[in-house]
Amino acid sequence: MRLSTKGRYGTRAILEIAKHYGEKPIKRKEIVLIQKIPDSYLENILITLKAAGLILTIRGAHGGYQLTREPSSITVLQVVEALEGTIVPVHCIETQDSNCSRSGVCTTQPIWHELYQAMREVLNKYTLEDLLTKEKEAEGIVDYVI
């Protein structure tokens, strides 16, 4: 599986929205400036993320975009599947296609199934909160709570 530009930009965009969780909504123009994503492209990405129920739009002068849930409850898998569709590497894994002439004797099908499970496992392992924490660590920002 290769992530498209939509998948990469969309993940960056939702992370930017996640940074403002619990605060005021972030405007699309701010995401464009911070993440260097073309505005018209970002608009389509945000529509997709909204349709998937991951973000919501708040209209008005103080409006913008917000997550629908806490960053800790949204996985990278959910974001990627919302933007890319299924991550299944071959069609027969997803549908268990009994119409395939190789069904039952295909020696590669178990490999594709294992690959699919591994990709799902890795992407499902990380939440938006995990990525935000990694970003802070990379920038040398550490939250100490007493």
The CA distance from 13 to 32, in Å, is 8
The CA distance from 2 to 89, in Å, is 10
Regarding pTM above 0.75, the answer is yes
pLDDT of 101 higher than 90:
no
What's the pLDDT tens digit per position in 118-143? Answer: 999 999 999 999 999 999 888 876 66
What's the CATH fold of domain 5-139?
Answer: Arc Repressor Mutant, subunit A (1.10.10)
The domain segmentation of the chain, as residue ranges, is 5-139
The CA distance from 15 to 134, in Å, is 12
